[in-house]
A and B are shown apart, each in its own frame.
Chain A
Amino acid sequence: MFKGKKYHALRVDPNKCFGCVHCIKVCPTEAIRVKNGLAVVDDLRCVDCGNCMRACPVDAFYIIQDDLSKIHDYKYRVALFPSVMIGQFPESITDDQIYWAIMQLGFTHVYEVEQPISWLVDLMLDHHVRNPEKKPLISSFCPAIVRLIQIKYPSLVDNIMQVKAPHDLAAAFVSETLVKQGASPEETGLFYIAPCSAKIAAVKDPVGEKESSVNGVINMNELYNRVMKVIASHPKAEFTGFRDYLSREGILWPLTRGEARLFKRRSMAVDGIHNVVRILEKIETEEIPDVDFLELRSCDQGCAGGILLSGNRFMNVERLARRSRRYPRYSEVVNDNSIVDAVKATLHLEEVVASRAFELDPDRGKALEKMAKLERIICQLPAIDCAACGAPNCHALAEDMVLGKAKMSDCVHLQQQWQHQGKMTNERAFNNLEKIWGRGRFEADCKKRGARNEGF
């Protein structure tokens, strides 16, 4: 049951991080601590949601990705991207201009991943009919949510829909299509343009599948910047052939309610990981009894709010809503049924296994002892939740202490009190602070990184 080290797409740049409390405060799994003036992320707890990256005032978080030059290992170089990529651009730039610009970067084929979406819908409804006892079914779409359920809501792992995500659909669909056109699979490189850290981690270290369906993953933010450089005012050609199976519903799929609107039964869509946490708590207690399907997305406005997107998420949603009206309904799209079975056969997701990131000790007796100790420590701490100890709140610091990762004197307020009572020397107290925040961290410095962060 216990899963070891996970792959994470999010990293901290030690040259940029200067040690502050922004990221530790927004992490939904309390995975971040500051030590020696640097943010340290707990591998088991991190779900790659990207909230830390969004909150960082000095851009110290970055995302691991494959280098774009890797595409040249292949004869056929396919870019697969979610529709929210298009939503980033002003409406004066046409779909074809964007497609053209992506091809200028070295790709031979460009596909949006949400096609043919009716195949994914078929599989989801079929999974629902076959598993009436799994209620509510939880979408597997957002990898940050799948990982969150794995570590924090183990009783709900069986509710995760065993159907893969749109990029897997497109990968299977495109490779079958290219094989039909005479390309060999070895010559074909499928590259997914990811809108967030969670999708990158899901490609590098997939949950519920042995290996990913794509050959590489590209950071959407970087691709957007490159596209902006080459984009021309007139499209050089038409690329509608790559969008033959794209539908209104497909375009809206990565946005909030994108899946729920097609799930013809009782469904609910929740976006924003902190909102998702509240709903999962209620689902676990069966406080929401009659929902058949739950669409849960880590980012506000779904993938339009992805951490690797440029521009405003609401403008993105607006552009996609207008764009979708120019496309046929998914039920009207005539799909290539000669490959439907081959594609569908690749889209089964294995069962997701729970992991235990919040246990105090694998031994129940020891865990109880630690919990009793934790209760005693809580009495001593001031409940100010200032995070000046490097942990997100007093309770988290107490947890760290019983796990042997922190000590009482990490609390700056307790230190003050001990100095006041003559129980601790000023020198020792100061050394303790520098251990958390780094040497020289408290010297006056007008050019200090992050100092001009106004917070709103």
Chain B
Amino acid sequence: MVIEQTYFIRGGDFSHAGDASSKVKKLLKQLGVDARKIKNIVIALYEAEVNIVAHAWEGMIRISIEADRISCTLEDKGPGIEDIGQAMVEGYSTASKEVREMGFGAGMGLSNIKRNTDVLEITSEVGVGTKVYMVNYF
């Protein structure tokens, strides 16, 4: 049995940043997933969701939940990441001044996602977009 959901994310729409993550959180609670695991998943997903809002023009989040895991694929149309290795470094950020003033873009995003997921794959093409694939086991 697999549960699949899709959420559309609009770039720059900070007031709705986090909506998809909270919907996923509700699903995981209904499935009785351990509270700490839910926390990890939702922190990672929220970071990735905010990345789309802050950097990309638009994006899609597809999640699929199975009995032992959740896989999330976040695909965006946006500027892409030039050097993924550097972007993973804590504190490194390309966020604009405006985004930072809103309290986002501290450069903790990707490293925070890494810390909270079991599998993380990031692929990106500059000028086209970024794809983040992450898996958490329950």
Contacts and interface: CB of A to CB of B under 8 A. Distances in A.
Given A364-B138, A368-B67, A285 B21 contact: yes
Given A154-B35, A155-B38, A360-B30, A365 B1 contact: yes
B3 interface: yes
Interface string A89-112: 000000000000000000000000
Contacts of B66: 368
A350 interface: no
Contact of A155 (B1, B39, B138): B39
A400 to B, nearest CB: 13
Interface string B36-48: 1011001100100
A351 interface: no
Contacts of B9: none
B3 A359 contact: no
Interface in B20-74: 21-22, 25, 27, 29-33, 35-36, 38-39, 42-43, 46, 65-68
A367 interface: yes
Kindly state the interface size class of chain B when it binds its partner: 20 to 34
B35 A368 contact: no
A285 B22 contact: yes
A369 interface: yes
A371 interface: yes
B18 interface: yes
A362 interface: yes
Nearest to B106: A289
A364 B31 CA distance: 6
A372 B5 CA distance: 11
B25 to A, nearest CB: 7
Nearest to A367: B31
Contact of A287 (B33, B36, B46): B46
A92 B93 CA distance: 62
A367 B42 contact: no
A284 B32 contact: no
A369 B1 contact: yes
A285 B38 CA distance: 9
Interface in B74-99: none
A168 to B, nearest CB: 27
A153 to B, nearest CB: 8
A154 B35 CA distance: 6
B114 to A, nearest CB: 15
A286 B30 contact: no
A285 B36 contact: no
A367 B18 contact: no
Interface of A, helix, strand, loop or mixed by DSSP: helix
A361 interface: yes
Nearest to B45: A285
Nearest to A354: B35
Contacts of A375: 3
B1 A368 contact: yes
Contacts of A368: 1-3, 31, 65-67
Given A285-B22, A286-B43, A375-B3, A155 B27 contact: no
A285 B36 CA distance: 11
A217 to B, nearest CB: 32
B16 to A, nearest CB: 13
A134 interface: no
B32 A364 contact: yes
Contact of A372 (B1, B33, B43, B138): B1
A369 B3 CA distance: 9
A187 interface: no
Contacts of B36: 155
Contacts of A354: 35
Interface in A272-313: 281-282, 284-287
A285 B48 CA distance: 12
Contacts of B43: 285-286
Q: Of residues B3, B21, B31, which shows the largest number of chain A Cβ atoms within 10 Å of its Cβ? A: B31
Interface string A44-76: 000000000000000000000000000000000
Given A360-B31, A364-B67, A285 B3 contact: no
B124 to A, nearest CB: 25
A152 B21 CA distance: 16
Interface in A369-400: 369, 371-372, 375
Given A368-B1, A372-B3, A281 B30 contact: no
Given A285-B22, A375-B3, 7 more contacts: A154-B35, A281-B25, A285-B21, A285-B43, A287-B46, A354-B35, A356-B32
26 contacts: A154-B35, A155-B35, A155-B36, A155-B38, A281-B25, A282-B18, A285-B21, A285-B22, A285-B25, A287-B18, A287-B46, A358-B29, A359-B30, A359-B31, A360-B30, A360-B31, A364-B31, A364-B32, A364-B33, A367-B32, A368-B2, A368-B3, A368-B31, A368-B66, A368-B67, A375-B3
Interface of A: 152, 154-155, 281-282, 284-287, 354, 356, 358-362, 364-365, 367-369, 371-372, 375
Q: Which 10 A-B pairs have the closest CB atoms?
A: A155-B35, A154-B35, A359-B32, A368-B1, A367-B31, A155-B39, A285-B46, A360-B30, A364-B67, A285-B42
